Amino acid sequence: MLGLHLTADLRGCRCDSVWLTDAERLLARCVDLVQAAGLQAVAQLAHTFPSNAHGPGGVTATVLLAESHLCVHTWPEEGGATLDVYVCNFGHDHSAKAQALLAALLALFDATAVQQHALRRGGVSP
């Protein structure tokens, strides 16, 4: 049950706007980055939210991993995104792979402000 949960809240994303608004393209890039990090995608889902008075709708891209999950949410009207990478470390420590995946996503969004957190999970005794 031990794992590593990494999160990042991004503001001032300087990436191409497609990464904030095109759910299918973002999802495809997420799957590529998952594979490049050495993790295994087992399912995926993307959703585009409707446009509103503030501009185009954001997107959610989720990749279910054999090791756990990746989830990205965007707010194009604010130039923001949130990233969530969780890996279970049962049998093998996937922490370095999770950190590589998060680093690749941070590079993709190229934010001016980033707040990151790392949480070690599963430390509760049975």
- Of the pLDDT bands very low, low, confident and very high (cuts 50, 70, 90), residue 33 is very high
**Can 68 be counted among the known catalytic residues?**
yes
Residue 56: per-residue pLDDT = 93
- Out of 13, 68, 69, 94, which one is annotated catalytic? 68
- Out of 88, 92, 94, 117, which one is annotated catalytic? 88
Query: Residue by residue, what is the 3-state secondary structure of the chain?
Result: CCEEEEEEEEECCCCCCHHHHCHHHHHHHHHHHHHHCCCCEEEEEEEECCCECCECCCEEEEEEECCEEEEEEEEHHHCEEEEEEEEECCCCCCHHHHHHHHHHHHHHHCCCEEEEEEEEECCCCC
**Can 117 be counted among the known catalytic residues?**
no
Instruction: Write out pLDDT tens, residues 60-75.
Output: 999 999 999 999 999 9
Query: Superfamily for 3-116?
Result: S-adenosylmethionine decarboxylase (3.60.90.10)
**Can 15 be counted among the known catalytic residues?**
no
List, in sequence order, every residue forming a beta bridge with 118; answer none if it has no partner: 6
Residue 2: per-residue pLDDT = 86
Instruction: Write out pLDDT tens, residues 5-31.
Output: 999 999 999 999 999 999 999 999 999
